[in-house]
Chains A and B, each alone.
Chain A
Amino acid sequence: MADHGRGPSAGERGLALALGGFVLFNRPLLDVFDLGIGVGIAGWPSIYLYVFGSWALVVLLLFLMTRRRAR
Chain B
Amino acid sequence: MSVDTTVSNEQILFSIRSKIDEILSKRQKKAEELRAKREKVFELGKAFTDAKSLYDIASQIEDDEQSELCFEKIDALTPNGKDVQNFISEIDSVIKRFERDYVSIATVGKERQGKSRVLQSIGNLDNEVIPAYKSTSCTGAVSVIWNDSSMPEGAVKAVISFKDVEDFMSTVNTYVQIIDPSMKLGFGDLTKRGISDKLRRIVEKNAGNLDMSIAFNHLKDIFEHFEEEIRDLIGGDDIILNEKETIKTYVAQNDGKSESDGCEHYYKFIAVKRADIYCRFYNDIGKVRLVDTVGLEDTKAGIEEAMLETVKNECDAAIVVTKPISGIQLPDQHLYDLFRENFADRDTSKWLFYLSNKQVGVNDSTAEAFAKEINETGMAIANRSDDYQNMVVDASDPDGLYRTFIIPMLQKILENFGEINESYVRRLESDGDELIRKLEESVSESGPLSKKGLDNGMGQQAFLKGKQCFNTMSAELSRQVMYWGAERNNPNGELFNRVKVILDNIYEMIPSEEKLQLMFESNGALLTDDVWKIALNMVRNELTDKFIEIDEVLEEATRRFKNSLVKAIYEELKSLIPETVVLSQNEDELDMTQWLNEAIKIIDVKPEYRQIIKAFRFLCSFEFNTRAQIIQTVRQQLYIINPICDEYAKPVFNFHKNTVGKEVNYYLTSRISVVEENIRSSLLNLYRTPNQAFYAAAEEFYDRLTFASDMDENNTLIDMRDIWGMFFQDFYTIICAQAAQQSIAIEQFHSKYDELIQSIRTKMAEFPFKSQGVK
> Do A and B share a complex?
no
